[in-house]
Amino acid sequence: MSNSNSSIISSIEEQTGVLYDPDEETISFSGSGNSTDHFVSLFEYLVNSGFISKSDLPFSAKRAQNRYILNTEPSHEDRQMIRPNEVDEGFYLETNHDNKSKKRYCKKAIEDFVLS
């Protein structure tokens, strides 16, 4: 990982409590708040810092291409999101995931938008 990426990962950790281990390629949550707080905080950071733009949406998981993690509307391809959170104007994050999925989606977002 480059020094620039290392600095960004450190900033993400400081701002969101989402810890990305580049050697193990794992995610953990630290600090106060629950997994949803950390999940929302990471996506707010990525959107507000310009890592994710509306042209990148919808953003989905590999296994669920019609179920979006982040979209410009609070809906998936075929239905409404459950517990959407508007992380910025016009950026809706589906928060109805278990902790393991939230970590997996955080990892995917960091790898796709920060490290790629």
Percent of the chain residues past pLDDT 70, beyond the cut: 97
Q: What is the pLDDT of residues 46-58, one digit of tens each?
A: 999 999 999 999 9
**Axis crossing angle, helix 35-48 with helix 3-16, rounded to the nearest 10:** 130
Sort strands 18-21 and 59-60 into parallel, antiparallel or unpaired: unpaired
Give the C-alpha separation, 14 to 92, whole Å: 23
Q: What is the pLDDT of residues 23-76, one digit of tens each?
A: 999 999 997 889 999 999 999 999 999 999 999 999 998 776 678 999 999 999
pLDDT confidence of 1, banded at 50, 70, 90?
A: low
Domain boundaries, the chain: 3-114
Of 62-71, 76-85, 90-99, the one with minimum mean pLDDT is 62-71
Average pLDDT on 87-102 reads 97
Its pTM stands at: 0.94
